[in-house]
């Protein structure tokens, strides 16, 4: 091929990809293009293989070095399991009481969502974009599904390809979450920042102190209410109107090896926006 | 075909090492881009077509791993692969120091293009990664020079082995 033709190929390939980029940013429904999905399907099993091999090696090392500790811990966990079972039996009665009381005052509680377990096979929490790749146990996860751990909020699903999903972490610069300060119920928005998390739109007259817990407010249409997001570590007067607030994330992203994906809650038919895509359409 | 298989194998190794590296050191993606090194080795012989094709494939692999908008690194590494091949046509690299400069310059240009496209595409581009720019450029240069040196030594050994083998056959006759 002559140099002139090669130059033409470069121009076509680069322009083609810039057009491809333009089509994706911002993506209409956040779904992936076929090409992106195919590459993710190709790379993700390799990530899972590396993750599995690393787990096996570290697991073997841990087994031999900590066998005695594991045995005593197992014993302790058995006892704790027994205690928790007794607690669960007692709580059954409390739940039944709550349901009866809720029915008496006609209070409709938020329905329980289906929770799916997923293994983290790759996590990049330092460069842009801050995402993780997870392997799903079963299909059925969709775009925007909230992702949590037992410690708090991790992020949301931004792409699904086969049995793998890409999760945008809440510490990513382009991520934002509708939140409230647990103690005062004051609402704001948490965004990812280079330092971790920043809480925005808390007015200066609001009651806010270092150590306040921040949880999801359930007002953004993505995350349900009450999931821990972080704790206030710094709150200073910013511009004339709002605080400048830094949060320590509730989740230690360095230690997350599995996550739970929540199924989205469907809005009642009467409240749905006819123009908005249904969860099934983007699934 | 042999070159294609070599490239595919090298890219696979680079992606695997990237995944292992990220698992061991969380800052790995900020320190080193192994896929870029594979592109630069593919472009070293001065063939612009193989340079751009290598850049395209490695860029797509980077996009798939990093989760960047698909085609971002595809476009950047295509330009890097083509540009590196053009540069290799004009510059003769024989020493490790020259290779280090070549690899480091490519890493710098790649990060510059990445910053430029991020500023165009994103409302609030992530700038914290640029604190690591010097580390990434230096690491790419050093690793590129080491691999270049090893490749040259391996090629020399192979040549010597082939030559010795031929000589022995002739003597046996």
A241 at interface of B, judged by CB pairs closer than 8 A: no
Please indicate, yes or no, if residue A277 is contained in any of the structural domains.
Answer: no
**CATH assignment of the domain containing A145:** 2.40.10.350
Predicted local distance difference test score (pLDDT) of residue B51? 92
- Mean of per-residue pLDDT scores for chain A: 82
CB contact under 8 A, B27 and A194: no
What pLDDT digit, counting tens, does each position of B72-115 carry?
899 999 999 999 999 999 988 888 899 999 999 999 999 999 88
Please indicate, yes or no, if residue A130 is contained in any of the structural domains.
Answer: yes
Please indicate, yes or no, if residue A270 is contained in any of the structural domains.
Answer: no
Whole-number Å distance between alpha carbons of A215 and A199 = 11
Whole-number Å distance between alpha carbons of B21 and A127 = 14
The total domain count for chain A is: 1
CB contact under 8 A, B126 and A25: no
Please indicate, yes or no, if residue A126 is contained in any of the structural domains.
Answer: yes
Name the least confident of A99-103, B129-133, B157-161, B164-168.
Answer: B164-168
What pLDDT digit, counting tens, does each position of A40-53 carry?
778 888 888 888 88
A188: containing domain: 115-265
Predicted local distance difference test score (pLDDT) of residue A106? 72
- Mean of per-residue pLDDT scores for chain B: 87
What pLDDT digit, counting tens, does each position of B34-45 carry?
999 999 999 998
More confident residue, A100 or A282: A100
Please indicate, yes or no, if residue A136 is contained in any of the structural domains.
Answer: yes
**Residues of chain B neighbouring A25 (CB-CB closer than 8 A):** 69, 121-122
Please compute the mean of the pLDDT values over residues A11-34 and round it to a whole number.
66
Most confident of B106-120, B136-150, B156-170: B136-150
**Of B34, B52, B36, nearest in space to B105 by CA:** B36
Mutate to test the interface with B, among A1, A9, A12, A13 (most CBs of B within 10 A): A13
| Interface A-B: count of C-beta contacts within 8 A | 123
Predicted local distance difference test score (pLDDT) of residue A214? 95
Please indicate, yes or no, if residue A275 is contained in any of the structural domains.
Answer: no
Please indicate, yes or no, if residue A110 is contained in any of the structural domains.
Answer: no
Please indicate, yes or no, if residue A280 is contained in any of the structural domains.
Answer: no
**Of A134, A133, A48, A125, nearest in space to B30 by CA:** A125
**Of A253, A255, A233, nearest in space to A245 by CA:** A233
ipTM exceeding 0.90?
A: no
């Amino acid at each position: 091929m002559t140099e002139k033709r090669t130059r033409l190929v470069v121009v076509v390939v680069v322009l083609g990809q810039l057009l491809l980029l333009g089509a994706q940013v911002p993506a209409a429904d956040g779904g992936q293009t076929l090409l992106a999905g195919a590459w993710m399907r190709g790379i993700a099993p390799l990530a899972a293989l590396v993750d599995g091999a690393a787990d096996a090696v570290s697991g073997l090392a841990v087994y031999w070095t900590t066998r005695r500790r594991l045995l005593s811990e197992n014993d302790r966990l058995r006892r704790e399991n027994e205690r928790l079972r007794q607690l669960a039996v007692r709580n059954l009665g409390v739940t039944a009481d709550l349901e009866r009381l809720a029915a008496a005052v006609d209070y409709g509680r938020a329905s329980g969502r289906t929770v799916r377990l997923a293994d983290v096979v790759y996590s990049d929490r330092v460069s842009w974009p801050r995402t993780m790749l997870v392997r799903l146990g079963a299909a059925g996860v969709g775009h925007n599904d909230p992702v949590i751990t037992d410690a708090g909020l991790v992020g949301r699903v931004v792409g699904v390809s086969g049995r793998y999903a890409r999760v945008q972490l809440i510490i990513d610069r382009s991520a934002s979450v509708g939140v409230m300060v647990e103690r005062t119920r004051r609402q704001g928005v948490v965004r990812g920042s280079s330092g971790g998390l920043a809480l925005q739109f808390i007015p200066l007259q609001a009651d806010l102190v270092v150590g306040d817990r921040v949880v999801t407010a359930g007002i953004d249409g993505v995350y349900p209410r009450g999931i821990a997001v972080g704790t206030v570590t710094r709150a200073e007067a910013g511009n004339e109107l709002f605080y400048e607030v830094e949060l320590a994330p509730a989740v230690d992203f360095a230690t997350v090896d599995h996550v739970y994906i929540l199924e989205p809650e469907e809005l009642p038919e009467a409240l749905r926006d006819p123009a908005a895509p249904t969860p099934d359409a983007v699934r | 075909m042999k070159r294609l298989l070599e490239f595919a194998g090298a890219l696979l190794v680079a992606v695997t090492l990237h995944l292992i590296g990220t698992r061991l050191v969380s800052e790995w993606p900020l320190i080193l881009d192994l896929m870029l090194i594979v592109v630069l080795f593919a472009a070293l012989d001065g063939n612009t077509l193989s340079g751009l094709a290598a850049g395209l494939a490695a860029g797509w692999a980077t996009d798939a791993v990093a989760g960047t908008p698909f085609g971002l690194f595809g476009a950047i590494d295509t330009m890097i692969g083509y540009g590196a091949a053009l540069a290799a046509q004009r510059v003769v690299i024989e020493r490790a120091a020259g290779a280090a400069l070549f690899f480091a310059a490519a890493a710098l240009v790649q990060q510059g293009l990445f910053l430029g496209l991020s500023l165009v595409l994103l409302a609030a581009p992530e700038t914290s990664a640029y604190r690591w720019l010097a580390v990434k450029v230096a690491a790419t240069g050093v690793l590129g020079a080491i691999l270049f040196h090893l490749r040259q030594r391996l090629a020399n050994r192979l040549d010597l082995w082939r030559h010795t083998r031929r000589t022995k056959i002739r003597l046996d006759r």
